[in-house]
Amino acid sequence: MTLSDTQRKFYEEAMNQTKTEIAELESEIQDELAAVKQKIADLQGAQKAARQMYDAACLRLGIPNDLEEESSQG
């Protein structure tokens, strides 16, 4: 089946628009991924700081750090 000129134009335009949309979506995906990675890094930093404070409190109280045991098991 041969396409008419009108049909060919329609499909070419659809293809071009869709290609642009795919590129825009890929860019948006990468932006969101970067934001998630940054959020995870921020949370991990906060967790590390909290663990250091917890460890220091355990040390001052003279009790074992139960979180150290959990992290070495997992």
Rounded to 5 degrees, φ, ψ at 62 are: 70, 30
Q: Under a CB-based contact definition with an 8 Å cutoff, are residues 69 and 62 in contact?
A: no
Lowest mean pLDDT: which of 8-17, 19-28, 30-39, 63-72?
A: 63-72
pLDDT band of 1, cuts 50, 70, 90: confident
Kindly report the pTM of this predicted structure: 0.69
